[in-house]
Each structure stands twice: as structure tokens, then as C-alpha cells.
């Protein structure tokens, strides 16, 4: 075996050369891998005793793409195009042997080969769009030539992976192999040589793109079908244009067009933000005083207390991950209602073709309902999701203390209550932790894990690991009112209400945030969640909200009553309501406020700057470990547009001095709730940022 570089080896199996990439953890295409592939191919091509070459990878996966840490830095030799040219133009057959995930530049490497084999569990994808990029090394030109334009559009614009069966059906791989992958690829290569198969270069394949030539309607229909989910993003449209070029231009000119579009994206603020979030999400998994090797408890069985809005959704997460879960309710009716909603959710998904009828039964089969509290006894993790009232929570935890296994992790889904006080109801506060899911709990990706003063490292490691296991993005935060997400949301809500009293209307405020990239604004969100929920909380805390309280007194609770800040048609389409406008004007008048026109810019600043300021306080208080954790919380829990990177990254991109100075203007105008947090002040004066960007 010869080491071509530190991360690529060349070996021989008879007349077949095997190039093995070994660049843990995911064999990303750093400079060493690129050089190794280029030089390894050249060495094998120049060796008269070699008749074909296999490219394989060591470790857990085939090449998972370009090395993202190199982006935005001066390019290192050799360029990736040069490497791919070397593979594709090699005079001897080159065969890719894929296991794990062939992603981005990894799939590109495989497509530059003349043949591809993969194991049954291999997956293939173009995730560049998720980083605000397009497959910029020929991917938009090669993929449609192999799998056809429609499949390429779908893969490249969604960024989702496909499995080996799908890849085989679409011609992306030539065979699914079993047993030792490298050995199987070598056998495949020997057959290619024996049969003297002509070299197949994807760049020369014409039939699938010719079928789409002169049919712009294919692209028009695709654009329409993805308009909703790609709103505000820059990369999807660039991807589509590049694929159009593959159909309408010869390969070299298509590559040139792809290069131009790719360069625009690489330099865009949207991609910078999306790449930042990619790493921020992975950073959030790292807890400084809970090292990665801290043993997490294996969750073989879970229990959920309460089958309401949240409990049912939480239970679904476990069933979806194949973990048996017991749901415990106070009364049979509540249990039946809750499990009925769960079944209906699954059936709706099945009706959309995303689950089979068998999947529905398998998942329901993993969920056991009972009114017998003693059923928690065999659960490794118990998540409480009962009413948001401290005495009830404490009673539940006191019971859990007597019934749960000694080493079970006891979690609360509270959104506002003190996790430490809840933990104090047990004799094992070290086993207690907050696991704050977001509604709908089976859909939203964020899991805000709340560390109590006494939570053990095992409890923390378990909550983080189980979060990942059930497909969530877990972020660890500390105890304070509203934790990180809702505490910041509260600031936004306060200003939203002031804005409508000063002169804006709910739909104007909502539109400003919708156009910023949020799925909806604060008033539409209030209507969706139910205005009565926050009304009850306000009453409990002795707080008031002039307009929202009036709407609730009128029975306008939002979507569920057909009216709230908006009125809703039968299909839940909102429209601004003159009656609400009348109430707002009345309240403004009564408070002696002279209404004025408020610009979109001011609306956005008034809503989002206080959130950034609260984020600064959260960091100072060490409620969040790092600024990027706050950004991950807002992107995955509240629909902050990922192409703006989260509130703290966004603030950095504006410039903290600019933001702080604007806050000082608002402080003069509106009072001390606008006082910049000391951390914001300090960073602004020092010309620094929250996120180090």
C-alpha cells in the first residue's frame, strides 16, 4: 500500500488499483483528499499493470462533500474541477464504491467515475442548497444527464437524500452490492475490464436532457411547486437556472454558467448565514463541562404524563424513532381523546402518502395508553406534560419520585415554570431536567433542554442524546423565566402591541416580519396559538394587554373561534377586520396616543432589536452557553429565516454599534426598556461581535 497523501492510499488487488480516502470524520474533500485523488488516479493511470481503478472510503461514509471549513478562504491547490477532470478523462475505468452518504462533492466524485456501485444502505444527495449554494463542480450539469431533469430538480432544490434503490432505479448507480464493499467493487471492476465495456462519461450522455429541451413548462411547473417552501431563499432559483443551462447549453458552456451562478451564491450573505447555522447546530451539541464521552442513559422505554396538545406530540417522537412509550392520563376520556388525535395525525400523514397504513399501525403499536401512574415504573425517561401549574407539576414529580426506577431521568416540558422548584418535589433533583418541546411537538425540530441547578451530567447527556435520537436539534439552556426562546419572544410581543397602539395595524406588523422571512408575524401567531392561552397567563401574573384582553373578552380567541386579531374564513384564510381596527383606534385614543405612519424598517427594528438586547442579557447571565445557541433556538423553534442566521448573527451583520445607537434613539423616545444591555454596549464600543463572525 502506498500513501499518496496523509489521507489517501493506493493499494493493489490483482490488476485493480484501489484508492482509499481516509479523512475522518466524514471524508470531506479537503486539499489533502483532492491532491490524493488527483495524484492517485495519475499514478494508477500511468501504471501499465493496472487495468481499472476503484475509489472507496474508510470509516463511516463515502466522501460527504467539500470541506465546508475551506469556504470563504483563499483556494488551495488542486482545484476540485481539476480532480474531477482527471477521474473522468482517465483512460482506464474508474469505479466508485459507495457506503454511508455520497453528498455534494462526494456525489460529484462518484459521478465523474465511469461506474458506481453502492451498498443497500448507501444514500446519495445534493445538500448544497441547504448551505445556500448550488452543486458547483458540475453537479447541476451531470446529475440531470444521469437521472433526468425532473429528478435532478427535485434532488438539487430539496437537498434531500435518496436511497440506493431509488439511485439504482434512476441510473445513478449501476449495482447494489452485498458483503465487503471494496471486494465487491473490485469484482465489478474486473467484470468491466473483462467485458471491455466502453468508458461511460456522464458529460456525454444526452438522451435524458434532450427529452426536456424546448420544454420550459417543466421548469415553470417546478418553480410553482416549490415557491412556498423556497420563499426568501436565494439558492433554489440559482439551482434551477443552472439545471436549465444543462438542458439548453453544451456541457462546457453549461459548466461555465454553473460557475457564474455558484460564485454569486458563494459570496452571498444568505450562504454565509446558512453555513454558520450548519456549524452552530453542531456546536450546540457541545457542553463545556459535560464532555462528549459522558455516559448517557440508553432509553429503551419512555413515558409521557399528559396526553394533551404537547403530550401526544411528544409521544409520537418516540414512536417514530421506534422507542416504546407509555402515555399516562388522569381520566380515560382525556386519554382516548389524546390518543385519538395522535392516530388522526398519523392517518393524515398516511393520506398524504408519507406513511403506509402498516407504518401507522406499527407506530400506534409502540404507544400504550393508561390511567395507571404505576406504569412509569419501567421507563428510562419520563416526560411530564401536564397543565402549566406549579402545584400540579410538584404533585406529579413527588409521585414520580416514589414510582420511577432509581436511575430514570425525570423531565418536565414546562414552558415557564422554575425547573429547580419542580425538582425540589423529588428526593433526586439531580435526575430532573427540562425538555422543552415546541408545538406541534412531533414537527418542530427544536428541543430546549433546561439544566436545573442540580441536574446531573448523566441527565444532561441523556436529554441531549435522546433529542438527537428522535430527530430534534437539542440546545442546552439554564433556568430563567421563559428560558431563552420565549424570554426573547416576550420582548417582541411587547413591542408588537405598542406598535399597533402608535399607528400600525396588525396586518402591517405581521407583513413586515413575513417579508423579513418569518412564516408569520406575532398577531397571526397569537391567533394560531389561541389568544386565551396568553390571556390566562397574563391574568395569573396580574398583567394586562389593552387590545388582546378586549378581543378575549369578546370571545375572539383566534383561529379556533374563527376570529382574533383577524377574521378567518372556513379554510382559515385570515383577513384584517375593521372591528379590530376600531378597537385599536379607540384604545390608542383613550391612551392619548397620536397615531402616525410607521415605516417597515422601524417595525422590524422595534420588533427585533429588543430580542437581540435580551439575547445579550441571556449571554451575560450564562443562561445560554454561546450566542450561536440562541441563533439555533430561533431558527429551529420560531421560524427565524435561516438565511439570516438567527438574531445574534443578524445583529452582527448589521453592526453592533449601529444597532446599539439605534437603541439609544429608541430609549430617548420610548424609555428605559430600550437601555442597551452592558454586553451589547461593550461589544459595540470595542467593534466586536456576538458570534465572532
Q: Catalytic residues, which ones? A: 108, 128
Strand ranges in 281-408 using DSSP code E only, listed in sequence order: 302-305, 325-328, 367-370, 381-384
Q: Which stretch binds ligand NAI (CB under 6 A): 201-209, 292-300, 386-394, 658-666?
A: 386-394
Number of residues interacting with ligand NAI: please give it, by CB under 6 A.
Answer: 23
Under the binding rule (CB under 6 A), the answer on residue 273 touching ligand 3HC is no
Give the DSSP letter of residue 294.
S
Residue 392 binding partner per list ligand 3HC, ligand NAI, none, with a CB distance cut-off of 5 to 8 Å that depends on partner kind: ligand NAI
The contacts of residue 350 (CB under 8 Å, 6+ apart) are: 356, 357, 359, 360
Residue 334 binding partner per list ligand 3HC, ligand NAI, none, with a CB distance cut-off of 5 to 8 Å that depends on partner kind: ligand NAI
Under the binding rule (CB under 6 A), the answer on residue 25 touching ligand 3HC is yes
Q: Least distance in Å: CB of 329 to ligand NAI?
A: 5
Under the binding rule (CB under 6 A), the answer on residue 131 touching ligand 3HC is yes
Instruction: Locate 655 and state its grid cell.
Output: 453592526
Distance CA 175, CA 120 (A): 9
Cα distances (Å, whole numbers) of residue 635 to 518, 609, 642, 648, 650: 10, 16, 6, 11, 12
With CA atoms as reference, report the closest residue to 28 among 66, 1, 62, 56.
Answer: 66
Residue 282 binding partner per list ligand NAI, ligand 3HC, none, with a CB distance cut-off of 5 to 8 Å that depends on partner kind: ligand 3HC
Residue whose beta carbon is closest to ligand NAI: 308
Q: What is the SS3 assignment for 76?
A: coil
Is residue 78 reached through a cis peptide bond, with omega within 30 degrees of 0 on the bond before it? yes
Interface mask toward ligand 3HC for 528-567; x: CB under 6 A = ----------------------------------------
Q: Which stretch binds ligand 3HC (CB under 6 A): 134-142, 330-338, 471-479, 668-676?
A: 134-142
Distance CA 12, CA 22 (A): 16
Residue 148 binding partner per list ligand 3HC, ligand NAI, none, with a CB distance cut-off of 5 to 8 Å that depends on partner kind: none
Give the DSSP letter of residue 73.
S
Instruction: Locate 304 and state its grid cell.
Output: 409521557
Query: Hey, what long-range contacts does 204-208 have (CB within 8 A, 24 or more apart)?
Result: 204/251, 205/145, 205/146, 206/145, 208/144, 208/145, 208/146, 208/147, 208/148, 208/149
Under the binding rule (CB under 6 A), the answer on residue 254 touching ligand 3HC is no
Angle at 366 between CA 360 and CA 372, to 5 degrees: 130
Instruction: Locate 583 and state its grid cell.
Output: 378597537
Which listed residue (10, 54, 57, 66) binds ligand 3HC by CB under 6 A? 66
Render 379-406 in DSSP notation, one character per residue. Answer: -SEEEE---S-HHHHHHHHHHHHHHS-T
Residue 396 binding partner per list ligand NAI, ligand 3HC, none, with a CB distance cut-off of 5 to 8 Å that depends on partner kind: ligand NAI
Cβ–Cβ < 8 Å for 527, 565: yes
Which listed residue (156, 302, 307, 400) binds ligand NAI by CB under 6 A? 307
Which listed residue (54, 84, 87, 103) binds ligand 3HC by CB under 6 A? 103
Under the binding rule (CB under 6 A), the answer on residue 65 touching ligand 3HC is yes
Angle at 327 between CA 323 and CA 330, to 5 degrees: 170
Cβ–Cβ < 8 Å for 446, 435: no
Is residue 60 reached through a cis peptide bond, with omega within 30 degrees of 0 on the bond before it? no
Cα distances (Å, whole numbers) of residue 617 to 59, 151, 417, 488: 43, 47, 20, 10
Residue 65 binding partner per list ligand NAI, ligand 3HC, none, with a CB distance cut-off of 5 to 8 Å that depends on partner kind: ligand 3HC
Q: How close are the terminal C-alpha atoms of the chain, in Å?
A: 43
Residue 137 binding partner per list ligand 3HC, ligand NAI, none, with a CB distance cut-off of 5 to 8 Å that depends on partner kind: ligand 3HC
Interface mask toward ligand NAI for 436-475; x: CB under 6 A = -x-x------------------------------------
Burial 425-439 (b: 16+ CB within 10 A, else e): bbebbbbbbbbbbbe
Distance CA 637, CA 631 (A): 10
Interface mask toward ligand NAI for 404-423; x: CB under 6 A = ---------xxx--------
Which listed residue (104, 236, 313, 646) binds ligand 3HC by CB under 6 A? 104
Q: Least distance in Å: CB of 634 to ligand NAI?
A: 15
Which listed residue (39, 88, 128, 495) binds ligand 3HC by CB under 6 A? 128
Under the binding rule (CB under 6 A), the answer on residue 647 touching ligand 3HC is no
Under the binding rule (CB under 6 A), the answer on residue 28 touching ligand 3HC is yes
Under the binding rule (CB under 6 A), the answer on residue 385 touching ligand NAI is yes
Interface mask toward ligand 3HC for 345-384; x: CB under 6 A = ----------------------------------------
Interface mask toward ligand 3HC for 281-320; x: CB under 6 A = -x--------------------------------------
Q: Least distance in Å: CB of 200 to ligand 3HC?
A: 21
To 10 degrees, the CA torsion angle through 504, 509, 515, 518?
A: 170
Contacts to ligand 3HC by CB under 6 A: 25-26, 28, 64-69, 80, 101, 103-105, 108, 127-128, 131, 133, 135-137, 139, 279, 282
Contacts to ligand NAI by CB under 6 A: 305-311, 328-330, 334, 338, 385-388, 392, 396, 413-415, 437, 439
Amino acid at each position: 500500500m502506498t500513501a499518496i497523501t496523509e489521507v489517501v492510499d493506493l493499494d493493489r488487488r490483482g490488476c485493480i488499483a484501489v484508492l482509499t480516502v481516509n479523512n475522518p470524520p466524514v471524508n470531506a474533500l479537503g486539499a489533502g483528499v483532492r491532491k490524493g485523488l488527483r495524484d492517485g488516479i495519475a499514478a494508477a493511470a500511468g501504471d501499465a499493470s493496472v487495468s481499472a481503478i476503484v475509489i472507496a472510503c474508510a470509516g463511516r461514509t463515502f466522501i460527504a462533500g467539500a470541506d465546508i471549513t475551506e469556504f470563504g478562504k483563499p483556494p488551495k491547490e488542486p482545484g476540485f474541477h481539476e480532480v474531477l477532470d482527471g477521474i473522468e478523462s482517465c483512460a482506464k475505468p474508474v469505479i466508485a464504491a459507495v457506503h454511508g452518504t455520497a453528498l455534494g462533492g462526494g456525489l460529484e466524485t462518484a459521478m465523474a467515475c465511469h461506474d458506481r456501485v453502492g451498498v443497500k444502505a448507501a444514500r446519495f444527495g445534493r445538500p448544497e442548497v441547504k448551505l445556500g449554494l448550488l452543486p458547483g463542480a458540475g453537479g447541476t450539469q451531470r446529475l440531470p444527464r444521469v437521472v433526468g431533469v425532473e429528478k435532478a430538480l427535485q434532488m438539487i432544490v430539496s437537498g434531500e437524500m435518496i436511497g440506493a434503490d431509488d439511485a439504482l432505479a434512476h441510473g445513478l448507480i449501476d449495482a447494489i452490492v452485498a458483503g465487503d464493499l471494496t471486494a465487491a467493487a473490485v469484482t465489478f471492476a474486473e467484470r468491466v475490464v473483462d467485458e471491455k465495456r466502453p468508458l461511460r462519461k456522464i458529460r456525454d450522455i444526452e438522451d435524458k436532457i434532450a427529452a426536456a429541451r424546448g420544454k420550459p413548462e417543466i421548469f415553470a411547473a417546478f418553480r410553482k411547486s416549490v415557491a412556498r417552501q423556497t420563499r426568501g431563499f436565494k439558492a433554489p432559483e440559482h439551482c434551477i437556472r443552472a439545471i436549465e443551462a444543462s438542458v439548453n447549453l453544451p456541457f462546457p458552456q453549461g459548466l461555465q454558467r454553473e460557475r457564474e451562478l455558484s460564485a454569486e451564491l458563494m459570496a452571498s450573505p444568505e450562504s454565509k448565514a446558512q453555513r454558520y447555522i450548519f456549524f452552530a447546530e453542531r456546536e450546540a451539541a457541545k457542553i463545556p463541562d459535560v464532555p462528549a464521552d459522558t455516559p448517557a442513559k440508553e432509553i429503551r422505554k419512555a413515558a409521557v404524563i399528559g396526553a394533551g396538545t404537547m403530550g401526544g406530540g411528544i409521544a409520537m417522537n418516540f414512536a417514530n424513532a421506534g422507542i416504546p412509550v407509555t402515555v399516562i392520563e388522569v381520566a380515560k376520556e382525556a386519554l382516548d381523546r389524546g390518543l385519538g388525535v395522535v392516530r388522526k395525525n398519523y392517518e393524515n400523514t398516511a393520506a398524504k402518502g408519507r406513511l403506509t397504513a402498516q407504518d401507522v399501525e406499527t407506530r400506534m403499536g409502540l404507544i400504550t395508553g393508561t390511567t395507571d401512574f404505576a406504569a412509569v415504573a419501567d421507563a428510562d425517561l419520563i416526560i411530564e406534560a401536564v397543565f402549566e401549574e406549579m402545584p400540579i407539576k410538584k404533585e406529579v414529580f413527588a409521585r414520580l419520585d416514589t414510582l420511577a426506577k432509581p436511575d430514570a431521568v425525570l423531565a418536565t416540558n414546562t414552558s415557564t415554570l422554575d425547573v429547580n422548584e419542580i425538582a425540589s418535589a423529588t428526593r433526586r433533583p439531580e435526575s430532573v431536567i427540562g425538555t422543552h418541546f415546541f408545538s406541534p411537538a412531533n414537527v418542530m425540530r427544536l428541543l430546549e433542554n433546561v439544566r436545573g441547578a442540580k441536574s446531573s451530567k448523566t441527565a444532561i447527556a441523556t436529554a441531549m442524546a435522546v433529542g438527537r435520537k428522535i430527530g430534534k436539534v437539542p440546545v442546552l439552556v439554564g433556568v430563567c423565566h421563559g428560558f431563552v426562546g420565549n424570554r426573547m419572544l416576550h420582548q417582541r410581543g411587547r413591542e408588537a402591541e405598542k406598535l399597533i397602539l402608535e399607528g400600525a395595524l396588525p396586518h402591517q406588523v405581521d407583513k413586515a416580519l413575513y417579508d423579513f422571512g418569518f412564516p408569520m408575524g406575532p398577531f397571526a401567531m397569537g391567533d394560531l396559538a389561541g389568544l386565551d392561552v396568553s390571556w390566562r397567563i397574563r391574568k395569573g401574573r396580574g398583567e394586562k394587554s389593552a387590545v388582546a384582553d378586549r378581543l378575549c373578552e369578546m370571545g375572539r380567541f383566534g383561529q379556533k373561534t374563527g376570529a382574533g386579531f383577524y377574521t378567518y374564513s372556513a379554510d382559515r384564510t385570515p383577513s384584517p377586520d375593521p372591528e379590530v381596527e376600531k378597537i385599536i383606534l379607540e384604545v390608542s385614543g383613550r391612551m392619548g396616543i397620536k397615531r402616525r405612519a410607521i415605516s417597515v424598517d422601524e417595525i422590524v427594528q422595534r420588533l427585533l432589536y429588543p430580542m437581540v438586547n435580551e439575547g445579550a442579557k441571556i449571554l451575560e447571565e450564562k443562561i445560554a452557553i454561546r450566542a450561536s445557541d440562541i441563533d439555533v433556538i430561533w431558527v429551529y423553534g420560531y421560524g427565524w429565516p435561516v438565511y439570516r442566521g438567527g438574531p445574534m448573527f443578524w445583529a452582527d451583520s448589521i453592526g453592533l454599534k449601529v444597532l446599539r445607537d439605534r437603541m439609544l434613539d429608541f430609549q430617548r423616545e420610548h424609555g428605559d426598556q430600550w437601555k442597551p444591555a452592558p454586553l451589547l454596549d461593550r461589544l459595540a464600543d470595542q467593534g466586536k461581535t456576538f458570534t465572532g463572525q
